[in-house]
Structures are given as C-alpha cells and as structure tokens.
C-alpha cells in the first residue's frame, strides 16, 4: 500500500490505511464477493462502461445485489479520482456479501458492502519488464466453469494464487494455468496472446478464462492493424512454437514474455509486439483524453 492510497467507503473518501471492514463480512470469511480492477489515465477510467457491465454480470451470477446504482458508482469513482494526488492510477472496486453471522448462507447478510481503493499496482515484481518476463506453466489447474465459472470476477483467487506460488518458487515471474483438459487458459491475473506466422492467437473463451477487457481491446486493435486473429484451444506444446508471446490485463497492461518454462521465445521475423503495444498506448490516450 502506498501512503497516498485512498479508499471510498460508506460515502466517504479516507486514507486507505484507515479503512476497515468487519471480521464478520462474508467477503473476508468466505470469499463471497466480486471485484473489478480499473485503470485511470488523465483522470479518466479506461473502458469504464465495460467494467461496469462485467461487474453487473458477476453480481448477477452470484445473486448479489449491488448496493449502489451504476450512476452512484460512476460518481464515487469520479470523486476518488479527483482526490487522488496523481492523474493516473489503479482502482479496485470490491463488493462483498456484507456483514452476517458465522455460517455460509448469504441470506445472513442483509446488505452488500462496496468499497473502492485508489492506489498504484505492479502485477509483476521485476524491474526488467520491458525485456520480457518468465512464465511457468503451473501444475495447478484453472477452475472449470462447472465448479466456479472463470467469467465471474469473484473474490476466490486461491487457485490463481497457488499457481503464482509455484511460479515464485521456481524463480519465474508469472504462472500460466491450463484447464482440467490440459488446454491453456490464462495467467493468474492476465490473459495470454501469442503471435505465430504473423497471426495473433489467444485461448478460446470456451477453455475457461476471464473475458478480459484488455483482451478485447487487443483483438480489436489487431484487426485495425490488419492482423489475422484466432481464438482457439492451445496445448502448452503449441504455445512453445510461438514467435512472440505477451500478457494483457488492466493491472498488467501489456507485458512481453521472453521465456515459457525453460524455453526461450524468439523469432527471426520482425517482431509485431512493439506495433501492438504502440497502438494500445495510443488507444488509451485517445480514449482518456476525449
Ligand atoms: C484471472 C484474470 N484474467 C484476466 C484478467 C485481465 O482482465 P482485464 O483485461 O479485464 O483486466 C484479469 C484481471 O484482473 C484476471 O484477474
């Protein structure tokens, strides 16, 4: 937490280190809740409406009544951005089931709890991010939709965290999760793309992944750049044949990958990632300065 981090809670904005929620909040006790991660640049949230829509879909999927209207959420976001000392940063919007007595039943919680943190976020702990990171294909599998649909952005990240622990222990920067059928899904907090034979390829939503908003933006940008895009099932072996590889996410933004397990990702062609990254930055600037 940075000392200037803020938190919107119960209609007030306070220093984040002073904000607290009850030990009886079911978000804490049972991971019963949802969240969105948003980024703002030049005081404007990138893709705000897409995030609000996904928030609503996550809430509906777990039968959670959001305690504020969408307009009230937009206002709260605006207020916290205005008070934040920098014009760009990261927002974490969390909605928990709220306070209830012990016991898993959501009916014990009459009122959901909503708070928003404004802070900085670096999802990968390396200073050499531009040179590419090292990705470990984790043995922990992504939860299948039959157990917990990965499209729900819920407070249950333990299987992602277990994957990340594997990566940490192996001295790698981030983990990649396969589904229970052995196909590539996504990173622990990001989606994955490869470039192979001048085509931009990413796992199919049917393989069980969070439908990243940045993923969507990248697919659109690729089409504008005239690249062929494909959403397909990929084995780890297929992934290793990539000419280039990168991760996308609101927190991650765009992160090039230079190594998967012990395999170096290299290409003899002119790399396409720099053009995609440049177009992404320009898209963010155009969006947030209008
Ligand atoms: C598991 C997972 N996948 C992908 C993403 C990327 O999604 P987005 O681009 O909407 O931030 C995230 C973002 O937090 C995530 O947690």
Report the CATH number at residue 238.
3.20.10.10
Write down how long the chain is.
290
In a domain, 153, yes or no: yes
98 and 30 within one domain: yes
110 and 151 within one domain: no
Low pLDDT (below 70) residues in the chain: none
The pLDDT tens digits of the residues spanning 79-100 come to 999 999 999 999 999 999 999 9
The contacts of residue 166 (CB under 8 Å, 6+ apart) are 136, 138, 139, 140, 175
Q: Using the atom order of ligand 1, give the atom closest to the CA of residue 54.
A: 10
178 and 276 within one domain: yes
218 and 136 within one domain: yes
In a domain, 1, yes or no: no
- pLDDT given for residue 16 in this prediction: 97
Q: Name the domain boundary from 119, 145, 164.
A: 119
Residue having the nearest C-alpha atom to atom 1 of ligand 1: 189
Residue to mutate, 163, 184, 191, ligand 1, most ligand atoms under 8 Å from C-beta: 191
- pLDDT given for residue 217 in this prediction: 98
Distance of alpha carbon 127 from alpha carbon 270, whole angstroms: 25
Residue having the nearest C-alpha atom to atom 3 of ligand 1: 190
133 and 93 within one domain: no
Residue having the nearest C-alpha atom to atom 6 of ligand 1: 249
193 and 85 within one domain: no
Find the residues whose C-beta lies inside 6 A of ligand 1: 37, 160, 186, 189-191, 210, 212-215, 248-251
187 and 244 within one domain: yes
Instruction: Name which of 230, 220, 229, 228 is nearest 282 in CA terms.
Output: 220
In a domain, 23, yes or no: yes
Cβ contact 220:249 at 8 Å: no
Distance of alpha carbon 274 from alpha carbon 158, whole angstroms: 33
| 190 alpha carbon – ligand 1 mean position (Å) | 5
234 and 135 within one domain: yes
- pLDDT given for residue 146 in this prediction: 95
141 and 29 within one domain: no
237 and 201 within one domain: yes
Residue having the nearest C-alpha atom to atom 7 of ligand 1: 212
CATH number of the structural domain spanning residue 79: 3.30.470.10
In a domain, 192, yes or no: yes
In a domain, 263, yes or no: yes
Q: What are phi and psi of 22, to 5 degrees?
A: -65, 150
| 36 alpha carbon – ligand 1 mean position (Å) | 9
Strand-pair partners of 231: 202
Cβ contact 174:133 at 8 Å: yes
| 139 alpha carbon – ligand 1 mean position (Å) | 20
Residue having the nearest C-alpha atom to atom 13 of ligand 1: 189
What's the number of domains the chain is made of? 2
CA distances from 280 to 84, 197, 252, 270 (A): 25, 21, 13, 18
| 238 alpha carbon – ligand 1 mean position (Å) | 23
Q: Using the atom order of ligand 1, give the atom closest to the CA of residue 251.
A: 11
The pLDDT tens digits of the residues spanning 266-276 come to 998 899 999 99
Distance of alpha carbon 217 from alpha carbon 145, whole angstroms: 24
Secondary structure in 3-state letters for the chain: CCCCCEEEECCEEEEHHHCCCCCCEHHHHHCCEEEEEEEEECCEECCHHHHHHHHHHHHHHCCCCCCCCHHHHHHHHHHHHHHCCCCCEEEEEEEECCECCCCCCHHHCCCCEEEEEEECCCCCCCCCHHHCEEEEECCCCCCCCCCCCCCCCECCCHHHHHHHHHHHHCCCCEEEEECCCCCEEEECCCEEEEEECCEEEEECHHHCCCCCHHHHHHHHHHHHCCCEEEEECCCHHHHHCCCEEEEEECCCEEEEEEEECCEECCCCCCCCHHHHHHHHHHHHHHHHCC
Q: Name the domain boundary from 119, 140, 171.
A: 119
In a domain, 124, yes or no: no
Instruction: Name which of 142, 167, 65 is nearest 110 in CA terms.
Output: 65
The pLDDT tens digits of the residues spanning 140-176 come to 999 999 999 999 999 999 999 999 999 999 999 999 9
Q: Using the atom order of ligand 1, give the atom closest to the CA of residue 215.
A: 9
Q: Name the domain boundary from 89, 119, 149.
A: 119
Structural domain harbouring 223: 129-288
In a domain, 28, yes or no: yes
| 76 alpha carbon – ligand 1 mean position (Å) | 22
249 and 143 within one domain: yes
Residue to mutate, 37, 39, 51, 148, ligand 1, most ligand atoms under 8 Å from C-beta: 37
Q: What angle do CA 9, 249, 228 make, to 5 degrees?
A: 150
Residue having the nearest C-alpha atom to atom 15 of ligand 1: 189
Tokens (6 digits) for 154: 């819920």
In a domain, 64, yes or no: yes
- pLDDT given for residue 125 in this prediction: 76
141 and 111 within one domain: no
- pLDDT given for residue 20 in this prediction: 96
């Amino acid at each position: 937490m940075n000392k200037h981090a803020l938190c919107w809670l119960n209609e007030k904005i306070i220093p984040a280190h002073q904000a607290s929620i009850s030990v009886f909040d079911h978000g804490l006790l049972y991971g019963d809740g949802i969240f969105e991660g948003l980024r703002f640049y030049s005081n404007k949230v990138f893709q705000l409406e897409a995030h609000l829509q996904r928030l609503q879909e996550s809430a509906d999927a777990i039968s959670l009544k959001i305690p504020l209207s969408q307009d009230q959420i937009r206002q709260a976001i605006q207020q916290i951005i205005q008070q934040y000392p920098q014009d760009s940063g990261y927002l974490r919007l969390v909605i928990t089931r709220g306070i209830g007595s012990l016991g898993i039943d959501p009916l014990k919680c009459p009122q959901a709890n909503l708070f928003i943190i404004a802070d900085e976020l670096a999802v990968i702990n390396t200073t050499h991010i531009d040179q590419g990171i090292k990705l470990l294909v984790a043995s922990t599998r992504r939860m299948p939709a039959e157990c917990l649909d990965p499209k729900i952005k819920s407070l249950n990240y333990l299987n992602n965290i277990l994957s990340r622990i594997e990566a940490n222990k192996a001295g790698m920067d981030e983990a990649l999760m396969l589904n229970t059928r052995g196909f590539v899904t996504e990173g622990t907090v990001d989606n994955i793309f490869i470039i192979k034979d001048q085509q931009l390829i990413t796992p199919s939503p049917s393989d069980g992944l969070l439908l990243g908003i940045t993923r969507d933006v990248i697919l659109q940008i690729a089409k504008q750049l005239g690249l062929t895009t494909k959403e397909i099932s990929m084995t780890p072996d297929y992934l290793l044949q990539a000419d280039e590889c990168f991760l996308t996410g609101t927190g991650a933004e765009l992160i090039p990958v230079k190594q998967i397990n012990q395999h170096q990702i290299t290409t003899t062609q002119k790399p396409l990632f720099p053009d995609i990254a440049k177009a992404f930055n320009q898209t963010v600037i155009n969006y947030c300065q209008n």
